[in-house]
Amino acid sequence: MAILDLLRGRRAQEQQQPQQFDTDTPSKFPQFTIFSRPGSSLGDDSSTPSSGIATPIEEKQLTKLGPCPEIGRLASWKGALILLVTSGSQFLDNVFMTSANVALSSIQENFDVSDTNLQWMISAYTLTFGGFLLLAGVLSDRYGRKLILCLGLSWLSLWTLAIGFGQSFIQLTVFRGLQGMGAALTVPSAIGIISSYFSGLDRTRALSIYASSGTVGFCVGLIFGGFLTSSLGWRYIFYFIVIITGSLGILGAIVLPKDNLAGKEKPKMDYVGAMLSTAGLILLQFVLSSGGSYGWGTPFIIVLLVLAVALLVAFTLWEKFISYPLMPLGLWKLPNFAGLWIAGFTCYGSYQNVIYYIVLMAQEVDKLSAGDTALRFLPMGVIGFIASMGTGKALEYVNGKYTLLAGLILTVLAPVPSAITSSPETSFWVNVLPTSLISITAVSLIFVTTSTAILTTVPVHVKSLCGGMVSSIPYPLFYITMEAPN
């Protein structure tokens, strides 16, 4: 009898024990139905490839699968450190962008650069960053997210230090372009790690923190760059940043989950698609950023524009027929994917331009120094952090279409305070600050909603690719709207 009682007790314990890989909580997580087609749906964590992307896994293939991906919790030391590394990379990408913006006037004075050429200090970074995001996403999915993220941070450290020691403006421009390639490697890999390591509500919260780190990085870059430029000099911006970048790379090598590629068949790489897409995107962004300066009727601008469009069309046709595409076109057939991408495209492009112009208004119209400009934009970082975290929390209770709609409405309203000034003189507190706060709230709502919705509905093996696609969408529209008035 004692033995029977013992067996009954063990059986009761086994029945009460939770499943090891029951990682998602779909009952609490919002189902996004913004642009869904009738009769199409995906689970909360679509690990099984869609028919538009790959063929279903056959029963005989199950024995060939590698180990299950490591799943963790946000409320743990390892989860917190993983989020620190991934969010830190997003933080640094924004610091790189805004700190260099504040230092432009000092760099111009140091190297006697014309206004036309000065823009290349920013454009060189954004050209390579935006152009390599798609390729970086594919490399992360196929060769390991940890490997690509650590490689990107190492590459960033090298060229950030080189910028600090640059002795000519040409050197700075080249080094900034190489720096942008490193930043491109970190973004899709970081998003892929977050979306595969965390699940359910933890994933939503982690993506919210990831998004908020970008808005905080934007403001820290302004403040950090402004004070260092005014005190020690612009070179110290890059000296200090390289310490953070290198530290994150070392920490990432220690704590990031293993890629678990052992025993798996080495994936085929679409080298033709990689060359076509990267060259096409870089050429397109170059033309859009340079058309106003050189003139849209200039022969070489027209030739490069036609070549860029031809490369991107060729890339699309190539991806349609190749058996191992760089970007599976079936992604665009997934529910909500195209609609969410277009919404993000519109909002991000507007946000980049609003920020560019309100910084100019603060420094050129209101005549604020770099340090004063940095301090006055501090509330923007606070509001961005609150908006990002609040959006992540809201998505636990409401449908994502409501937060998306709110973000789009705020995107339309954001430029209004800065546009309604009735005199050449503006007031920072009346015109510029409200625009900055509305704009950062809008982009926080859009980023968290689109990232969460897209990354919870795509297959595991393309999460980094989709992260790169989400991150690359601001740049073409940014250049189009920047050059439109010209």
Distance CA 397, CA 141 (A): 31
Mean pLDDT of the chain: 76
Q: Is a pLDDT exceeding 60 seen at residue 254?
A: yes
Q: How confident is the model at residue 261 (pLDDT cuts 50, 70, 90)?
A: low
Residue 187, burial from CB neighbour count under 10 angstroms (0-12, 13-18, 19+):
buried
Q: Give the mean pLDDT of 35-49.
A: 38
Q: Is a pLDDT exceeding 80 seen at residue 419?
A: yes
Range with lowest mean pLDDT among 10-19, 228-237, 240-249, 345-354: 10-19
Q: What is the per-residue pLDDT for 211?
A: 76
Q: Is a pLDDT exceeding 90 seen at residue 83?
A: yes
Q: Give the mean pLDDT of 320-328.
A: 80
Q: What is the per-residue pLDDT for 291?
A: 73
For the chain, the structural domain boundaries read 77-257+324-483, 270-323
Which positions ≥6 away from 167 have C-beta within 8 Å?
A: none
Q: Is a pLDDT exceeding 70 seen at residue 304?
A: yes
- The domain 77-257+324-483 is placed in CATH, from the list 3.90.550.10, 3.40.50.2000, 1.20.1250.20, 1.20.1090.10, at 1.20.1250.20
Q: Which residue has the higher pLDDT, 434 or 195?
A: 434
Q: Give the mean pLDDT of 371-384.
A: 82
Q: How confident is the model at residue 314 (pLDDT cuts 50, 70, 90)?
A: very high
Candidates 22, 32, 18, 31; CA nearest to 340 is 32
Q: What is the per-residue pLDDT for 454?
A: 74
Q: How confident is the model at residue 14 (pLDDT cuts 50, 70, 90)?
A: very low
Which positions ≥6 away from 125 have C-beta within 8 Å?
A: 96, 97, 100, 176, 177, 179, 180, 183
Distance CA 33, CA 339 (A): 10
Percent of all residues in the chain with a pLDDT value above 70, rounded to a whole number: 76
Q: Is a pLDDT exceeding 90 seen at residue 161?
A: yes
Q: How confident is the model at residue 372 (pLDDT cuts 50, 70, 90)?
A: confident
Q: Is 449 helix (H, G, I), strand (E, B) or coil?
A: helix
Q: Is a pLDDT exceeding 60 seen at residue 68?
A: no
Percent of all residues in the chain with a pLDDT value above 90, rounded to a whole number: 18
Candidates 173, 233, 201; CA nearest to 79 is 201
Q: What is the per-residue pLDDT for 151?
A: 95
Q: How confident is the model at residue 41 (pLDDT cuts 50, 70, 90)?
A: very low
